[in-house]
Structure 1
Amino acid sequence: MLCARTDKHASSSNVAHMTALDDNYTGHVDPGTAARRTLPGATIIKASVGPMDNNTYLVTCSETGETLLIDAANDADVLLDLVRRYAPRCR
């Protein structure tokens, strides 16, 4: 589960905090590889798997360390290796 930030000030409203990022992230990942992107609140591992080069994502909450696997494609061995390597606490 991803978590909202918990460092709200007592006087702040319930408005989401935005962070502007100025980086060179293109979103491209070569087939059979993984790319890591760290953002405020989460780390995202994006991998290209399967014969159709489907994108799959491991998103880890910076606060809790919990991880979510998104869009698991049809390459179980690669996905299990990805989870073992980057998200050992994933259930």
Structure 2
Amino acid sequence: MLNKKSATQGEDKRSLSIDPRATYDASTLYLYAPLEWENVEVTLYDAYGNVLFTEVVILSPVAYRIELDGFGVKDFMVELTTDEADYYGEFSL
């Protein structure tokens, strides 16, 4: 689950949210969006705030995957930055 950090104006009152979602398993982080979102900056941090990964991507209903095995850490924060809002989530393997 991702939390919204900031937004431009007002609250989202739609019956179906278009906010992005994140899930993970033992070695992979999956990022989704109900609709296609272009120019989403994805940044992955360790527990100390060090940047492990950053990339500008397109999110869609098809999962964008980040393999977590090679980072050598167990606690992460992911941040998604768009023109409209920032989203973040913390997770541990």
TM-score (norm. length: structure 1): 0.31
Flag the structure with higher helix content. 1
- Decide which structure has the larger Cα Rg and report it: 1
Flag the structure with higher strand content. 2
